[in-house]
Amino acid sequence: MTATPSASTGAFKERREEFMKGIQGGAALFASAPTAVRNMDVEFEYRQDSDLYYLTGFEEPSCLAVLVPDHPQHRFVMFVQPRDDSAEVWTGKRAGVEGAISDYGADAAFTIDKLDQELPGLLAKADRIYYRFGANSDADSRVVRLMRYFQRERQRKGAGPAAVIDPAGLLHEARLVKSASELETLRRAVDITCKGHAAARSVIKPGVYEYEIDAELRYVYAKYGSPRHAFPPIVASGVNSTTLHYTSNRRQLQKGELLLIDSGAEYGYFAGDVTRTYPADGVFSKEQAELYELVLAAEEAGIEAVRPGARFVDPHNRAVQILTEGLVRLGLLKGEVSSLIEKEEFKRFYMHRTSHWLGMDVHDVGMYTIGDESRKLEPGMVLTIEPGLYVSAYDQQVEPRYRGIGIRIEDDVLVTADGRDVLSSGLPRAISDIERTMRV
Ligand code: GLY
Ligand code: MN
Ligand code: MN
């Protein structure tokens, strides 16, 4: 189903070993994502926590992975749901403790109800615990109880964990720079995303409902093996395109409007994230084209600014410069470009950032700033470039012909040794290419 190698032998083990090199003397705990009730007996679709998946490949809920690099026998221990024939009739086969060892490479495994019994002994010799609070409140409370226990133990025995440290500094830095096999999976997620977008584009016409476009995305993603969206798709017609995270997707597209599609497939736990904006009738109006060309120029300048050694903030600064110059040229902003940028006046029309990291999480992990400096880009990092312009339908200060227009163009860009690779470049974005593809 996924392009990632098998759990016990492949990339997961390598990732664990690499991570464990950085936590010697300590131990790390990774909890599964919690389940959530949707209504009555129905739960929200389950997706494993990205960190836990990255290190184990394990997709079941109610699991805790423990890494103790200096433990003489049990460096990787899993606590999992027990095998249970009657529960498995309803929800499918579980790995159980046997599967955790044979299929996922654990040195030892216990059922999750043995946690309080087994965990203190496993961690007794560690001097610190790596754990990230905030994603699973049950696991959070357990860690607090555990540390309370070790406070007393330390007093008596003079040893044991004395601190809880966020593993992000090590683990998320590793996730930020993608390996060759991770890039292969991410490229596949972006390819499927582009296939979905192309299918969605082909059904655009006045009268179509946003949910019909949404359905094309869902169908094509699923058809090519994507188990789920990377985030709820944004299919925003007309004035909805000025709502940045519009997801209700219920409106009917009208003649003369734009349709903004921001969507990504997930594949092998990696996310695509691409945005295109199309004219309902296959041809941009004058005002739409003016704003579109501006966003496209900002995007191209942003993409050009991606290269090793450039700062993360450089594409954003380039995009803001070009957008602000253009807004002045078109009369939507008045004044000196430098002062409009300094006072952030452009935020009336461009209120979000140009980039975020892309990976297992659509807004992926990894630091954006190191010390006081915007981070330097390195080969293997992937980021989006996604400038936009959003003119409120109610903005009395702009000419009525521009009101209610929302445009975003978003591509997924890999930093390479000598520059960049636009992973989503197969999906047309120049006006002439869009108009041509919409004619056929
Ligand atoms: N789709 C969310 C984003 O572009 O960041
Ligand atoms: Mn997006
Ligand atoms: Mn994005």
Ligand nearest to the CA of 193: 2
User: What tokens were used for 389?
Assistant: 């312009």
Query: Of 260, 316, 386, 413, which is best to mutate to test ligand 1, by the most ligand atoms within 8 angstroms of its C-beta?
Result: 386
Instruction: Report pLDDT for 2.
Output: 40
Largest CA distance in the chain: 78
Query: How many angstroms is it from 245 CA to the middle of ligand 1?
Result: 8
Cα separation, 306 vs 233, in Å, equals 26
State which ligand 1 atom lies nearest to the alpha carbon of 234: 1
What are 371's two structure tokens? 């010390």
Ligand 1 mean position, distance from CA 412 (Å):
11
Instruction: Give the pLDDT of residue 53.
Output: 98
In angstroms, the CA 414 to CA 417 distance is 10
Domain with CATH 3.90.230.10 in the chain: 177-439
All residue ranges of the chain with pLDDT < 50 are: 1-6, 8
Whose alpha carbon is nearest atom 4 of ligand 1? 273
Q: What is the CATH number of domain 9-173?
A: 3.40.350.10
What is the model's pLDDT at position 440? Answer: 80
Domain with CATH 3.40.350.10 in the chain: 9-173
- CATH fold of 177-439 reads Creatine Amidinohydrolase (3.90.230)
Q: What angle do CA 198, 204, 210 make, to 5 degrees?
A: 100
In 70-162, where do the E strands start and end?
76-80, 108-111, 129-130
| Residues whose beta carbon lies within 6 Å of some atom of ligand 1 | 231, 262, 273, 356, 386, 410
pLDDT tens figures, 94-126: 999 999 999 999 999 999 999 999 999 999 999
* Probe residue for ligand 1, chosen from 275, 355, 408, 412 as the CB with the greatest number of ligand atoms within 8 Å: 275
| 152 burial type by CB count under 10 A (0-12 exposed, 13-18 middle, 19+ buried) | exposed
